[in-house]
Amino acid sequence: MESLTGPVGCTNLKLRQLGRVVARHYEAYLAEVGLKATQYSLLSGVVKLGPIRPGELARAMKLDASTLTRNLQPLVEHGWVEAGPGVDARSRLVSATPAGRDKRAEAQRAWKRAQLALNERLGPARVARLHALLDDCLARLDDGAGEGDV
């Protein structure tokens, strides 16, 4: 809703509501292949970027180290990701196993079905506008300007 003076309501609330609805949509498709959306995202990151040091992976995925460790654990337990020795005795490298690459390929097909269904439901033009608006907002907010402003 918008008034003559500007937006009405809490942007954070609206974004969180939209995020939950969209997440449930993708989760339903990814559940068919035994993954959560966060697991698919992380597995994709490891496949694309690995072998990679955990700290670099955390930065690339915009996660803190403890969240990365917690989210990697189920992928390691399923044998889709492994953490092996790095270039020296103090470092590790995270990489996808062959089973992890296969799981990601399977999940990509589920993700694609989810994306196409979302495009169909919202309309491709609306989704394209949403992406452009989100990209613009991320670029404006990611530079740190306005931090602490309420």
Q: Is residue 51 part of a domain?
A: yes
Q: Is residue 61 part of a domain?
A: yes
> Strand 92-96 and strand 2-3: pairing?
unpaired
Q: Is residue 72 part of a domain?
A: yes
Task: Kindly report the pTM of this predicted structure.
Answer: 0.79
Q: Provide the CATH number for the domain around residue 85.
A: 1.10.10.10
Q: Which domain holds residue 15?
A: 10-142
DSSP code of residue 92: E
Q: How far apart are CA 8 and CA 75, in angstroms?
A: 42
Q: Is residue 78 part of a domain?
A: yes
Characterize 27-54 residue by residue with b for buried, 16 or more Cβ atoms within 10 angstroms of its Cβ, and e for exposed: eebbeebebebbbbbbbbbbbebbebbb
Which amino acid makes up residue 52? Answer: I
Q: Is residue 121 part of a domain?
A: yes
| Total number of domains in the chain | 1
Each residue's pLDDT tens digit, 52-105: 999 999 999 989 999 999 999 999 999 999 988 777 767 789 999 999 999 999
